[in-house]
Amino acid sequence: MRIGVLTAGGDCPGLNAVIRSVVHRAVAQYGDEVIGFEDGFAGLLDGHYRSLDLEAVSGILARGGTILGSSRLERNRLREACESAPDIARDFGIDALIPIGGEGTLTAARMLSDAGLPVVGVPKTIDNDISSTDRTFGFDTAVGVATEAMDRLKTTAESHQRVMVVEVMGRHAGWIALESGMAAGAHGICLPERPFDPADLVKMVEERFARGKKFAVICVAEGAHPADGSMDYGKGEIDQFGHERFQGIGTALAFELERRLGKEAKPVILGHVQRGGTPTAYDRVLATRFGWHAVEAAHQGEFGRMTALRGTDIVMVPLAEAVTELKTVPKDRMDEAESVF
Ligand code: F6P
Q: Is 333 among the annotated ligand-binding positions?
A: no
CATH classification at residue 66: 3.40.50.450
Catalytic residue among 11, 32, 39, 127: 127
Determine, yes or no, domain membership for 334.
Answer: no
Kindly state if the Cβ of 125 falls inside 6 Å of ligand 1. yes
- Say if ligand 1 is within 6 A of residue 275 CB: yes
Q: Is 171 inside any structural domain?
A: yes
Closest ligand 1 atom to Cα of 170? 6
Do 34 and 145 have their domain in common? no
For atom 12 of ligand 1, the residue with the nearest CA is 10
What's residue 244's pLDDT? 73
Residue 158's alpha-carbon distances to 79, 161, 265, in angstroms, are 53, 5, 12
Q: Is 173 in the pocket of ligand 1 (CB under 6 A)?
A: no
43 and 147 assigned to the same domain: no
> In which domain, by residue range, is 232 found?
140-275
Q: Whose CA is nearest to atom 14 of ligand 1?
A: 10
> Is 127 one of the catalytic residues?
yes
206 falls within a domain: yes
Out of 11, 129, 139, 171, mutate this one to test ligand 1's pocket (max ligand atoms within 8 Å of CB): namely 171
For every residue of 143-179, DSSP letters joined together read HHHHHHHHHHHHHHHHHHT-EEEEEE--SS--HHHHH
Q: Is 126 in the pocket of ligand 1 (CB under 6 A)?
A: yes
Query: Which residue in 249, 139, 140, 269 sits closest to 198, CA to CA?
Result: 249
Do both 173 and 248 map to the same domain? Answer: yes
102 lines ligand 1 (CB under 6 A): yes
Sheet containing 163-168: order of strands: 188-190, 216-221, 163-168, 265-269
Q: Is 102 annotated as a binding residue?
A: yes
pLDDT of the residue at 339: 74
Q: Is residue 88 part of a domain?
A: yes
Of 15, 39, 66, 127, best ligand 1 pocket probe by most atoms within 8 Å of the beta carbon: 127
| Domain end point (choices 237, 259, 275) | 275
Nearest CA to ligand 1 atom 11: 10
Q: What's the pLDDT at 324?
A: 86
Within a domain: residue 168? yes
User: How many domains would you assign to the chain?
Assistant: 2
CA of 271 to the centre of ligand 1 (A): 8
**Residue 338 forms part of a structural domain:** no
Same domain, 134 and 144: no
Per the rule left: phi > 0, alpha: psi between -120 and 50, beta: everything else, 138 is left
167 Cβ below 6 A of ligand 1: no
Helices 281-299, 139-160: axis angle to 10 degrees equals: 160
Domain identity same for 6 and 127: yes
Binding site annotation covers 75? Answer: no
Task: Please name the residue whose Cα sits nearest to atom 9 of ligand 1.
Answer: 10
Let me know if residue 211 belongs to a domain: yes
Looking from the CA of residue 243, the nearest atom of ligand 1 is 8
**DSSP result, 178-226:** HHHHHHHT-SEEEBTTB-B-HHHHHHHHHHHHHTT---EEEEEETT--B
The answer as to whether 309 is a domain residue is yes
> Do residues 174 and 329 make contact, with C-beta atoms less than 8 angstroms apart?
yes
Residue-wise DSSP of 114-131 = HTT--BEEEEB-TT--BT
Question: Does 129 lie in the same domain as 6?
Answer: yes
Task: Please tell me the distance from the alpha carbon of residue 13 to that of residue 59, in angstroms, as a whole number.
Answer: 15
Q: Domain holding 255: CATH number?
A: 3.40.50.460
CB 124 near ligand 1, within 6 Å: no
The answer to whether residues 58 and 73 belong to one domain is yes
Mean pLDDT (10-residue bins), the chain, 341 residues: 97 98 98 97 93 98 98 82 85 96 92 94 97 97 98 98 98 97 97 96 97 97 95 80 81 98 98 97 98 98 98 97 91 87 74
Is there an atom of ligand 1 within 6 Å of 127 CB?
yes
Say yes or no: 158 and 56 in one domain. no
